[in-house]
């Protein structure tokens, strides 16, 4: 397989540190040259300790699972001869506790897919999603449920 890399950078600046009231804003740097503003979630630490406009690790995990599933689905739909016009997913992740430890307890994908021309019947549609889910690298890498509740657009 391939090696995937990202770098993360944070700098204290003039902030105090030992009072634990420093900004959690930082940056993710990827090999294509893009930098993404990141922070702890404002659901975990209030602003100004976090940055509401930045991506937090929890939502990045949800987005990564959604993206991985989508990429497999698009590939399988194309192979089956279906033309996907639009794919939108309103994925959600639940952070909770298991055995006293905070963790992601589940992610639910809710893809809404629009096709051009001939489209799969409902059974084929669900089979495409099932195959995408079974082969998704990231869904196969986590120890919590990743559910998929797809909707076939009219």
Residues 88 and 51 in one domain: no
Of 47, 48, 26, 24, the closest CA to residue 37 belongs to 26
CA–CA gap between residue 66 and residue 149 (Å, rounded): 12
Q: Exposed/middle/buried for 152, CB within 10 Å: 0-12, 13-18, 19+?
A: middle
By CB atoms closer than 10 A (0-12, 13-18, 19+), residue 28 is: middle
Say yes or no: 114 and 128 in one domain. yes
List Cα–Cα distances, 19 to 29, 30, 45, in angstroms: 28, 31, 14
Same domain, 75 and 47: no
- Domain span at residue 15 reads 1-55
Give the pLDDT confidence score for residue 113 in this predicted structure.
98
Give the DSSP letter of residue 55. B
**Residues of the chain scoring pLDDT < 70:** none
Q: Which CATH number does the domain housing residue 94 bear?
A: 3.30.300.20
Specify the pLDDT at position 77. Answer: 98
Residues 73 and 140 in one domain: yes
Give the pLDDT confidence score for residue 45 in this predicted structure. Answer: 93
Q: Is the pTM of this model over 0.85?
A: yes
Q: What's the pLDDT at 90? A: 97
Looking at residue 96, what is its pLDDT?
Answer: 94
Report pLDDT for 48.
Answer: 92
């Amino acid at each position: 397989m391939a090696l995937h890399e990202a770098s993360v950078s944070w700098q204290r600046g003039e902030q105090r540190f030992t009072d634990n009231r420093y900004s959690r804003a930082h940056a993710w740097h990827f090999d294509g040259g893009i930098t993404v503003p990141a922070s702890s979630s404002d659901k975990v630490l209030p602003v100004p300790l976090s940055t509401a406009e930045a991506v937090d690790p929890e939502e990045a995990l949800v987005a990564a699972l959604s993206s991985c599933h989508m990429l497999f689905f698009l590939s399988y739909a194309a192979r089956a001869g279906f033309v996907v016009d639009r794919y939108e997913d309103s994925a959600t992740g639940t952070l909770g506790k298991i055995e006293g430890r905070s963790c992601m307890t589940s992610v639910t994908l809710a893809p809404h897919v629009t096709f051009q021309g001939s489209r799969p019947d409902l059974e084929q549609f669900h089979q495409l999603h099932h195959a995408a889910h079974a082969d998704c690298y990231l869904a196969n890498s986590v120890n919590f449920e990743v559910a998929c509740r797809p909707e076939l657009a009219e």
